[in-house]
Structure 1
Amino acid sequence: MSYEIAVDLHLHTSYSDGVLSPKDLVNLCYKNGLKHISVTDHDCTDGIQESIEIAKHIDGLEVIPGIELSSQNEMHILGYYIDFQDMRLQKILSEFKNDRVSRTQETISVLKKLGINIDWNVVKSFAGEGTVGRPHIAKAMISGGYVKSFEEAFDTYLGKDGLAYTGKVKMTPKEAIELIDSVGGVSALAHPTFCMQGDDEESIRIFDETLMELKLYGLKGLEVYYKNYSLEQVSMLKRLAEKNNLICTGGSDYHGNGAADEVLPGLVGPPVEDFLLLGN
């Protein structure tokens, strides 16, 4: 990056599938020179208030209330400046949490049939106060010696094409965008290349049409600066964002799980001038 990284708008805590507590994550971000961050746990806002309270004691660090909503077609919709205490939002998120618990128990049953015996209580212990999910199953599998890494757990068993994958009920991208809008938030499409078939011109054209449709629903931003995106990918996405009048957002998608492609907070993010557009 040819500018100082002061913003990270894609971070996860132990309340969803991250490893660090809100306190440890906020302190890491401050240590790494960030000034504006957003805690965007998956379908969960439980870590936001704690993160905000910690940041109150740190001069020059702002925490923006955020969320990452899962939706159909492998689209994740980020929401910023949300009213995370809204009762309707919390009711919906509670339903998501209950569904995740049911799916986790189902996955454990499927794994048992495959000769992988992990205990529900062990999985829950890895989740701590957070919502139980696949990352915690992966930790239990590693602890039990069934796999050596998160990558192996997800590639072989827990990922979409894995032997023990159990699908979940997801809202449509339209519903996710409208939910964020209804609680005063600003929506952005996360890790957009995950939604693309490839990087050829035809795939880009099709994705551009998708962006135009999402914008009609109320989408305001596109995660242009992400993790380890190449300069070519950033350039392509920036061009699409400008064409569709979308704000260029970005972040590390930091989980703290030691994955091979993990990027620390402070190494990737949007320019401050792009970030400021979110609050306008």
Structure 2
Amino acid sequence: MSNNPLAEVFGFPSNTFSEKAERYRRNKLCPYNNKVPNCTKDKANNPLGVCSIYHRNSPVITCPVRFRQNWLIAENAATFFFGNQANWTSLTEVRLKDANGQSAGNIDVVLVSYDDRGRVIDFGAVEIQAVYISGNVRKPFETYMNNPQDWENIDWSRLADYYPTPDYLSSSRKRLTPQLLYKGAILHGWNKKQAVVVQKSFFETLPNLPRVEQQQAEIAWHLYDLQRQDDQFDLALNNIFYTEYWSAINRISTPESGRLEDFMEILQQKLDDKLENPPDTQTILDIPLQ
């Protein structure tokens, strides 16, 4: 890949130059069911049109809208929520409030089942989590957009200080876990099922979760991947992992303790450094009494 970090730009592989791909780049369009035709990531007037980056030669999804391709995530979640016979539709960015009327945030996608008169029968919530990036993806993106067809000749090593890599730990600790703890707890209190949409490589960085059968599941972890098909990547369901709510949350949010001996060594080293280099300041005992 010539160390090119950009897997997809405005919906197409960065080394695809079909007429359709060129049109999407020229008009900054999003092919994945964004709320408007254009990409709005980062800045609406100057969008960061990177859908996924390469990591170890595989595309890693960095934009949550990317998961909306063909609304496969809604179809699979609806099967978990309602079975195969229900009438259902999807609602996006639905505000959720707690018992005090305070906002708990927006649910990415709510699927509702309804009867022949259009009355809501049931619902389930879909939480989508793309991967945060460490480094800076805008600099490589702007370099690429200046001349996309010359991407093979770009000296990507010049951009080493900006080279983006997936930050799975921040994605789970700073984003996914708080979302599931707060919004998820409200939904769990209502006895409503949840589907969590992530990429398979992201799920594999999480702690081992206690698995249950589908009939006992309160959360369905839908694991997706990107598969190259001609001039585009296709989103594909790789696996479904079923868990209860609290057992999964407790496992994700509880860090595994390291060795006490290792921490004691750190304390000893810091103490040794302090005793060898005492601070050049007076303590209260050094101040003469008047």
- The TM-score normalised by the length of structure 1 is 0.31
Q: Give the number of the structure whose alpha-carbon radius of gyration is greater.
A: 2
Bigger helix share: 1
- By percentage of residues, which structure has more strand? 2
Higher RCO (CA-CA < 8 Å; seq separation 6+): 1
